[in-house]
Amino acid sequence: MPSPRTAAIIVAAGKGERAGGDRPKQFAVLAGKPMIAHSHAALSAHPAIDEVIVVIGSDQDADLREALADARHVTGGATRRESVLAGLAAIEKADRVLIHDAARPFLSAAVIDRLIAALDDAPGAVPVLPVADTIARADAALGDTIERSNVVRVQTPQAFRLDAIRAAHAAWPAGREATDDAQVLRAHGGMVVTVEGESTLEKVTHPADFAAAEARHAAVMISRSASGYDVHRLEAGEELWLGGVRIPHDKGLSGHSDADVALHAITDALLGTIAAGDIGSHFPPSDPQWKGAASDQFLAHAASLVAARGGIIDFIDLTIICEAPRIGPHREPIRMRIADILRLDASQVSVKATTTERLGFTGRGEGIAAQAVATVRVPRL
Ligand code: CTP
Ligand code: MG
């Protein structure tokens, strides 16, 4: 039997009115990138998820393009349920679906695993957390207390067998809003089981929730640094590319790609932070498609792998080692270019250069070396 296919829908068509701000909350920057980019990366990177569909408002195309350049998306509706329906209709081929709120940015692979496993036993599964506070009915005065152990806080993503949730939504009375999709499945007689939720999954609703979400996220992130090193030979008749910038010189670096040692060193440093091998394992020199290739695509790929692990690049420190050309005049353009490729602020990129006092291959002008250190934050395993 072929293994079941799983789709994920991120509903992001809301206006974020309670959160305020100059754009809908799902596009506001949180922990280093637009809120929606966090859950999109987690769902896209999960090996069991085959397609991810983002549902946005009819006027949010530009916001989405800025946040997530090539995310698959459809237009949602005036209510969350209408947006979910638009997402369900857009699924190409799946047996199961995870329905997630863009307003819950930080989800781990572990919660996705728990939800998908739970669908073996039931048509629906939701992540829940216990309630710590006393819960009471609120009337004009304090009403009856509700037994705490009888209630849970229900989060998203919510996971369903696709045919079951489609049938349940089709049977739900038009015009009546549902607070979540588990409620819709239960109303149709479908069983919904619970799995352990996560505090980082709490919804961002009000302005104060941004700082709280950022703090919860920071608490599960660890810092990692890794280094990269590369050398290429200097030869007459080659172009010289360093840090993504073309530099006029009587010689250039030779190699299979454009031989940009600086970008190669940074690429390896970034791959090192997530233990993802090295540049040669991703772009083998034996592969003709990389002949003469511009190295910015290698660097952008390494950055996308870091992002797919939920990582955030904090800092890049690059040292270029050569006798000539002089790097000083090119330092700022190189910094700007690296920041541009990695979508960082220039203040997060340092470019240094040194000679080796005419000693060794760099001193004799036979080649240029570069070393880099990348510092990232990634979710603790
Ligand atoms: N949502 C949606 N379509 C709607 C309304 C909401 O896709 N018509 C999405 C939101 O983008 C969000 C999730 O449903 O990811 C949960 O909704 P909520 O937290 O209420 O977000 P908003 O509706 O955007 O916020 P508000 O109610 O404060 O305006
Ligand atoms: Mg709302």
Whole-number Å distance, alpha carbon 103 to ligand 2 midpoint, is: 10
Q: Give the ligand whose atoms come closest to the C-alpha of residue 24.
A: 1
- With contact defined as beta carbons under 8 Å apart, do 53 and 322 qualify? no
CA torsion sign for 109, 110, 111, 116 is: positive
Distance of CA 254 to the CA centre of its chain: 34
**What's the pLDDT at 1?**
64
* Ranges of CATH 3.30.1330.50 domains, the chain: 222-379
**What's the pLDDT at 169?**
97
* Ranges of CATH 3.90.550.10 domains, the chain: 6-219
What is the enclosing helix (H) or strand (E) of 242? strand 241-242
> For the domain 6-219, what is the CATH code?
3.90.550.10
- With contact defined as beta carbons under 8 Å apart, do 112 and 155 qualify? no
CA atoms within 13 A on the CB side of 314: 14
Task: For ligand 1, pick from 17, 74, 80 the residue to mutate: most ligand atoms within 8 Å of CB.
Answer: 80
3-state secondary structure 104-143: CCCCCHHHHHHHHHHCCCCCEEEEEEECCCCEEEECCCEE
Q: Residue 247: what residue type?
A: I
Going from the first residue of the chain to its last (381 residues), give the mean pLDDT of each consecutive group of 10, the final group possibly shorter.
90 97 95 91 91 97 92 96 97 97 94 97 97 88 88 97 98 92 98 96 96 93 97 96 97 94 98 97 92 94 88 96 97 98 95 97 97 94 68
Distance CA 1, CA 8 (A): 22
**What's the pLDDT at 248?**
96
- Its pTM surpasses 0.85: no
**Beta strands 6-12 and 96-101: pairing type?**
parallel
CA atoms within 13 A on the CB side of 341: 25
Q: What Å distances lie between residue 282 and 11, 268, 289, 299, CA to CA? A: 33, 10, 12, 11
**Beta strands 142-146 and 192-196: pairing type?**
unpaired
Write out residues with Cβ below 6 Å of ligand 1. 11-19, 24, 26, 55, 76-80, 83, 101-103, 203, 205
For residue 107, what are the contacts with CB-CB under 8 A and spacing of at least 6? 39, 42, 43, 100, 157, 198, 200, 201
Q: Give the ligand whose atoms come closest to the C-alpha of residue 80.
A: 1
- Report the CATH superfamily, name and number, of domain 222-379: 2-C-methyl-D-erythritol 2,4-cyclodiphosphate synthase (3.30.1330.50)
Distance CA 150, CA 165 (A): 25
**What's the pLDDT at 25?**
98
Task: For ligand 1, pick from 9, 10, 11, 40 the residue to mutate: most ligand atoms within 8 Å of CB.
Answer: 11
Distance CA 35, CA 214 (A): 10
What is the enclosing helix (H) or strand (E) of 214? helix 207-219
Closest ligand 1 atom, residue 101 Cα = 15
